[in-house]
Amino acid sequence: MRLDKMLAHLGFGTRSQLKKLVREGVVMVNGEVVTDSSIHVDPEEDVIQVWEEEVKYIQHLYLMLNKPAGYISATYDPVDSTVLDLVPKEYAHFNLFPVGRLDKDAVGLLLLTNDGKLAHRLTSPRHHVPKRYFVRVEGRVTEREARKFAEGFRLDGEEDITLPAQLVILSQGDVSEAEVTITEGKYHQIKRMFQACGMKVLYLKRISMGPLRLDPHLEEGEIRPLTEDEMNDLREAASGG
């Protein structure tokens, strides 16, 4: 890979900025100052330093966001802010996109990455990756609703019946709380399933996707790279393991 391409990918500037930077003599490859930004390097083998600090090539980036309400899960929106507006500048050049969608008013776990293959494996309807949500709904949720969720619904405008979903009741009253696990991602799926039971979702928070759990220390709006362990678990789940 060309040195300028690698450094550009890591956010050190455009190719012409990098040409200048390298000419200034601040970039070293295997301990030697280089002056030509077009040379080829092996990101796996060569030690690249900029201003005497080693830089590591990262092709794919994986960030966990605790999405706040009010943001659209997309890379662009003509009107509203998107989840990409929450990404710190240091990651801005990675061409990130959200893996799956959370409604504008929904909160919680959202994975952002530039790894299209992994994203596809996690969101493809064929792979049935479970997604768990905490929900607060208007009305009394009972075992009757839990049975309906398990049996499946034919939602308006959909040909297929929803796949069996798990509804675990946490509290019952005029407002009830529950955890719902679904293995597909139809448009507004959980809201529409409750609507089919005559109930309105007041609050929806995603708490897990496959093996990835929302970090309880991550405040709404905060973002952090996945840990090695989270990455390994996610790759395993995406490969069908």
Q: What positions carry a catalytic annotation?
A: 103
Cβ-based nearer residue to ligand URA, 4 or 184: 184
Cβ-based nearer residue to ligand URA, 10 or 165: 165
**Residue of the chain from 3, 6, 137, 190 that contacts ligand URA (CB under 6 A):** 190
Rounded CA-CA distance 84/8 in Å is 20
Beta carbon of residue 52, minimum distance to ligand URA (angstroms, whole number): 46
**Residue of the chain from 191, 205, 226, 238 that contacts ligand URA (CB under 6 A):** 191
- Using rule CB under 6 A, residue 102 touches ligand URA: yes
Is the CA virtual torsion 218, 222, 228, 233 positive or negative?
positive
Stretch that binds ligand URA, among 9-17, 36-44, 159-167, 186-194 (CB under 6 A): 186-194
Closest CA to 111 of 103, 121, 101, 125: 101
Q: How would you classify the pairing of strands 166-171 and 107-113?
A: unpaired
**Residue of the chain from 103, 138, 215, 233 that contacts ligand URA (CB under 6 A):** 103
Rounded CA-CA distance 106/109 in Å is 10
Total of chain residues touching ligand URA, rule CB under 6 A: 8
Rounded CA-CA distance 162/125 in Å is 11
Six-digit token pair at 237? 């789940």
**Residue of the chain from 188, 202, 208, 218 that contacts ligand URA (CB under 6 A):** 188
**Residue of the chain from 7, 118, 204, 212 that contacts ligand URA (CB under 6 A):** 204
- Using rule CB under 6 A, residue 179 touches ligand URA: no
Six-digit token pair at 199? 């109930």
Rounded CA-CA distance 183/141 in Å is 21
- Using rule CB under 6 A, residue 209 touches ligand URA: no
Distance of CA 216 to the CA centre of its chain: 16
Binding site residues, ligand URA, CB under 6 A = 102-103, 106, 188-191, 204
